[in-house]
Amino acid sequence: MKSFKKLAVALLLMAVLCGGAGANDYRQFTAEEMVPLVEKNIAEAEGSLLEGLASAEALLKSAKTDASQMTGKWNELVEQFFNGPAIKELAVSSANLLMALENARMDPAQSSIKGQDLTAGRSVYQEAEELVDFAREVQSVGEAVAWTLKVNRHIESLEKDIENAPVRVGAYVEEMRAMSASLDIILRQGRKVFDDLRRGQATPAGAREEFSRYLSDIVFIRTKTQNAAVSLINTSKYLESDGSWVIPATELKRMEVLAEYWKDAANLYPSIGREITAATARWAPLPKASWNSYLESGKEFTEVYGPLIKGDLFKGIRHFEGKNYADLPMVVLEAETTVRTVLSAVVEAEKDLEKRKKALEDDERLTAKEKDEVARLEKEYGPETQRILYRAVFTRGQWYDKMTNLILLIEQFEKSGSTDNPIYRKAKEEYREFEEGRNPDQVAAKKTWDHFQAKKKEAQKRLDEIAAAHAKRKVGLGLKPVIVGGKL
């Protein structure tokens, strides 16, 4: 008996869905026939929605960071439940019920349904329409699922950084503590050797050997300190709250608006079963819970990385305490300059020591100035600047396109025999200007380019002068030149 009823309902639904056929092919169904079908579809749609709502709740609770398991899964839920077969069938049968009710109202003599039954039919229609509307509007939860995925990924990133904090921070501290200790040893031993040399208790050859070893060690320390400084600067920039991982609070406001809508579903859709609206109400606190987890991770992140971000990582470490990360190599460089000065001076008389040190200091200042000027010249007249300028002055006018259009225009006039037309003569003259390089845009471009080349020639001359003066000074100091010049 149940199978027979199911078959009858299925056949009735098939007839309704075929309502687009000719009027003579299928009879119109009455309200008495449509009401039970719509009631059946409501029950099926409610069951489908409850399953979809539960699955959506699981996504909002999920800590997954794989898009396919979050937004991808949500898209599947939409197709399966919120815009699935049950909802679509309900929408179609509801529309046909409305048509049947209208027919009964307009022609009561032809309908067996009476006033009370008509009211009940309208109630069924209202419930069906609310359910279809609810299924459509509640899909806004997809936005919350995408936001939850974003929050989950940020939490995962923060937790990975927090997990790596002991190694990351500890490595910096231990490395700089070791560098400080090594620097102390070099400076202390170097001072003793120098004092022994002044007192005549050490030979210049022995002092040279000692200071050569100190220099090798200190260059190694300086290299490691430079690497640490660069790494610290990059790490602190990454870790600072510069917006790269911080989620704006405005996004939470949007989630709170959605949560209020979910909580108010029972009032917005009074005809829908309470079990369904209660399911959306359970969603309401979930985005805030994800946000609180994110804030907790952010708080822990700030605690473990606070000293690194603030620059207080090296408290109690001699030489490096209180220094900006960018200035860490300067501490070693100062000591290196001293060692180089002594190393160069031990082969000369003691009276030349201060002169040598000053010469090295002047050289350092001049070298920095020369580097700045060379960098400026390379930036202003280097290959990249030249390429950019060339593209700017020689392609701005789109001459090729203009010439092509002129050729097409000229050919059209010549084919039509209208060569006396003023437009034709003007086009010929413009094309001739392009061919002969007399076009104003071409002339202006060449002038700009020639001016740049003249300035570049002057810059090249200046670059050669800088390199020559630098090399001469460095060789005079017994140092290897660091500015080699070259073509701009």
Can you say whether residue 485 is alpha, beta or left, with left for phi > 0 and alpha for psi between -120 and 50 degrees?
A: left
Higher pLDDT, 8 or 419: 419
Whether 424 and 412 have beta carbons less than 8 Å apart is answered as no
Q: Give the up-direction half-sphere exposure of residue 396: CA atoms within 13 A in the CB hemisphere.
A: 13
40 has a pLDDT exceeding 60: yes
**What is residue 243's predicted lDDT score, i.e. its pLDDT?**
47
Query: What's the CA dihedral at 183, 185, 188, 191 to 10 degrees?
Result: -80
Higher pLDDT, 75 or 176: 75
Q: Which residues contact 283 (CB under 8 A, 6 or more apart)?
A: 56, 57, 60, 141, 144, 259, 262
pLDDT tier for residue 7 given thresholds of 50, 70 and 90: very low
**What is residue 309's predicted lDDT score, i.e. its pLDDT?**
74
Tokens 């203009």 label which residue? Answer: 402
Rg (CA), the chain: 42
**What is residue 269's predicted lDDT score, i.e. its pLDDT?**
92
Domain ranges of the chain: 2-149, 165-367
**What is residue 17's predicted lDDT score, i.e. its pLDDT?**
43
Whether 57 and 278 have beta carbons less than 8 Å apart is answered as no
pLDDT tier for residue 4 given thresholds of 50, 70 and 90: very low
What percentage of the chain carries pLDDT values higher than 70? Answer: 86
Report the alpha-carbon distance of residue 336 to residue 482 in Å, rounded.
17
Single-letter residue type at 296: E
Report the alpha-carbon distance of residue 152 to residue 296 in Å, rounded.
13
- Concatenated DSSP letters of 94-132: HHHHHHHHHHHHH-GGG----HHHHHHHHHHHHHHHHHH
Whether 171 and 224 have beta carbons less than 8 Å apart is answered as no
Whether 31 and 104 have beta carbons less than 8 Å apart is answered as yes
Single-letter residue type at 126: Q
Token pair of 26 as six digits: 């299928």
Token pair of 479 as six digits: 């140092």
CB burial readout 128-158, b (16+ within 10 A) else e: bbbbbebbeebbebbebbebbbbbbbbbeeb
**What is residue 435's predicted lDDT score, i.e. its pLDDT?**
77
Whether 99 and 54 have beta carbons less than 8 Å apart is answered as no
Helix, strand and coil content of the chain, in percent to the nearest 5, comes to 80, 0, 20
Indicate whether this model's pTM tops 0.75. Answer: no
Report the alpha-carbon distance of residue 319 to residue 337 in Å, rounded.
16
For the ranges 219-233, 350-364, 407-421, which has the lowest average pLDDT? 350-364
Report the alpha-carbon distance of residue 67 to residue 135 in Å, rounded.
23
Instruction: Choose among 15, 89, 16, 87: nearest CA to 49.
Output: 87
15 has a pLDDT exceeding 50: no
Report the alpha-carbon distance of residue 377 to residue 39 in Å, rounded.
82
Single-letter residue type at 365: R
447 has a pLDDT exceeding 90: no
Instruction: Choose among 298, 243, 290: nearest CA to 70.
Output: 290
Whether 448 and 475 have beta carbons less than 8 Å apart is answered as no
Instruction: Choose among 48, 46, 31: nearest CA to 117.
Output: 31
**What is residue 26's predicted lDDT score, i.e. its pLDDT?**
43
Single-letter residue type at 468: A
pLDDT tier for residue 418 given thresholds of 50, 70 and 90: confident
For the ranges 108-117, 269-278, 314-323, 404-413, which has the lowest average pLDDT? 108-117
- Taking residues 472-483, what's their average pLDDT? 88
**What is residue 12's predicted lDDT score, i.e. its pLDDT?**
41
**What is residue 32's predicted lDDT score, i.e. its pLDDT?**
76
For the ranges 161-170, 248-257, 455-464, which has the lowest average pLDDT? 161-170
2-149 CATH fold: Topoisomerase I; Chain A, domain 4 (1.10.132)
**What is residue 386's predicted lDDT score, i.e. its pLDDT?**
86
**What is residue 108's predicted lDDT score, i.e. its pLDDT?**
60
Report the alpha-carbon distance of residue 276 to residue 258 in Å, rounded.
17
For the ranges 6-10, 227-231, 358-362, 384-388, which has the lowest average pLDDT? 6-10
* Averaged pLDDT of the chain: 82
Token pair of 232 as six digits: 């610290």
- Taking residues 387-416, what's their average pLDDT? 78
Note the pLDDT tens digit of each residue in 52-87: 999 999 999 999 999 999 999 999 999 999 999 999
- Taking residues 311-329, what's their average pLDDT? 83
